[in-house]
A and B are shown apart, each in its own frame.
Chain A
Amino acid sequence: MPVDKNMPILVVDDFNTMRRIVRSLLKQLGFSNVDEAVDGNDALEKIAAKHYGLVLSDWNMEPKSGIELLREVRQNAKHKELPFILITAESKVENIVEAKKAGVNQYIVKPFNAKTLKEKMVTVIGDF
């Protein structure tokens, strides 16, 4: 099934610059229906209110981190299958293991480039 480029995507990061970077790269890839959240709590509210096709989240945020957000999303039966990609500076093995246990679909380490973003998105939502 072809990917619907109009699907809503949620970008979660406490740094405005990073949200803007991801939004711009998504636009280049053809995805313009993008919402933003500033931390895990903000993201949970938005996910509860709207059906997203993909979540791209940072890890290091307060008061709720990206990994905590991921765990809570997966605990909700409605969002068990919600495609979730972590984009983070955390790169230790234990981080990856923890993210995998929490149910992440893909893991992108910062700094990242447009090619990596597309590759990981394709593995999660399909070719586009």
Chain B
Amino acid sequence: MAKKTGQDQKIETLIEREMQSTNPQTMNKDSFSLLAAKVATEIVRELGDKNSEFFKELRQIVSSIDSAKDEIAAIRPKELAEKELPDAANALDIIIKTSEEAASEILGCGEELMEIAQYVPGKLNQRLMEIATKIFEASNFDDLNGQRIRKVIKTLHLIEDRLKRLLSTYGEAYEVVKETTAVEPSEDSLLNGPQDQNKATSQEEIDRILNG
């Protein structure tokens, strides 16, 4: 059952008082109409009084909503949905791709060892086959990591969708405030980690900048 507000208690007190002052044996349609009118009058009076319990509670509700909006704005949903989450998902995609490429190279070595083993007799043949087997077995990591990472990507996309829905509902409240003055790069903003090879700065370009 919902907690009673101060307003509820006032109305209840009013009803109890009226009931006590009325003879139950003589109560009729008119007495109930009179009671209803008194309750309605009391409610209207409360609504007109800005210091009333009703307005106090309304102000508290508005204040809670404002706090919630501020907290949501603090997580920068627009930046998250439009840049940071897609960037994170993209980085994970790249991990899957590059891991698969590396695993392919490693498997190639294992296959080559197997081929070579054919021409090598005795214990050495056995040893080479064992090493090749270990390479194939260890390469399981690529498949399992790929599955785990794909799950994480799915979760990121889910969060991204939810944020976009939030943004389309509450719109401008969470617009990014554009920087109007140039900002000096901080230590953190210089840490961007491994590049996407499709957009990476080449070694030649780096050398050119360094030596230019």
Chain A residues with CB under 8 Å of chain B are 13, 15-18, 20-21, 24-25, 27-28, 60, 89, 110-114
Looking at B103, B132, B133, B136, the one whose CB has the most chain A CB atoms below 10 A away is B136
Question: How long is the Cα–Cα vector from A28 to B134 in the complex, in angstroms?
Answer: 12
Residue in A17, A112, A113, A114 whose beta carbon sits within 8 Å of that of B104 in the complex: A17
In contact, A28 and B142 (Cβ under 8 angstroms)? no
In contact, B144 and A111 (Cβ under 8 angstroms)? yes
In contact, A24 and B143 (Cβ under 8 angstroms)? no
Contact with A along B93-119 (1 / 0, CB 8 A): 000000010011001001100100000
Q: Specify the chain A residue showing the minimal Cβ separation from B101.
A: A17
Residue in A16, A21, A24 whose beta carbon sits within 8 Å of that of B100 in the complex: A16
Interface residue B31 (Cβ < 8 Å from any Cβ of A): no
In contact, A25 and B136 (Cβ under 8 angstroms)? yes
Q: Specify the chain A residue showing the minimal Cβ separation from B100.
A: A17
Interface residue B140 (Cβ < 8 Å from any Cβ of A): yes
Nearest CB on B from A58, distance (A):
8
B146-181 residues at the A interface, CB under 8 angstroms: 146-147
In contact, A24 and B107 (Cβ under 8 angstroms)? yes
The 5 lowest CB-CB distance pairs between A and B, nearest first, are: A111-B140, A18-B143, A17-B142, A17-B103, A113-B137
Q: Specify the chain B residue showing the minimal Cβ separation from A22.
A: B136
Describe A's contact surface by its main secondary structure.
helix
In contact, B140 and A112 (Cβ under 8 angstroms)? yes
Q: Specify the chain A residue showing the minimal Cβ separation from B99.
A: A17
Interface residue B81 (Cβ < 8 Å from any Cβ of A): no
Residue in B104, B129, B141, B147 whose beta carbon sits within 8 Å of that of A20 in the complex: B104
Instruction: Enumerate chain A residues within 8 angstroms of B110, measured Cβ to Cβ.
Output: 24
In contact, B144 and A24 (Cβ under 8 angstroms)? no
In contact, B111 and A17 (Cβ under 8 angstroms)? no
Question: How long is the Cα–Cα vector from A23 to B132 in the complex, in angstroms?
Answer: 13
Interface residue B7 (Cβ < 8 Å from any Cβ of A): no
Tell me whether A114 and B144 are in contact in the complex, defined as CB-CB below 8 angstroms, given that A17-B104, A17-B107 are known contacts.
no
Q: Specify the chain A residue showing the minimal Cβ separation from B147.
A: A89
Nearest CB on B from A16, distance (A):
7
Instruction: Enumerate chain B residues within 8 angstroms of A24, measured Cβ to Cβ.
Output: 107, 110-111, 114, 132, 136
Instruction: Enumerate chain A residues within 8 angstroms of B100, measured Cβ to Cβ.
Output: 15-17
B28-44 residues at the A interface, CB under 8 angstroms: none
Nearest CB on A from B111, distance (A):
6
Tell me whether A15 and B107 are in contact in the complex, defined as CB-CB below 8 angstroms, given that A28-B114, A28-B132, A114-B133 are known contacts.
no
Q: Specify the chain B residue showing the minimal Cβ separation from A60.
A: B147
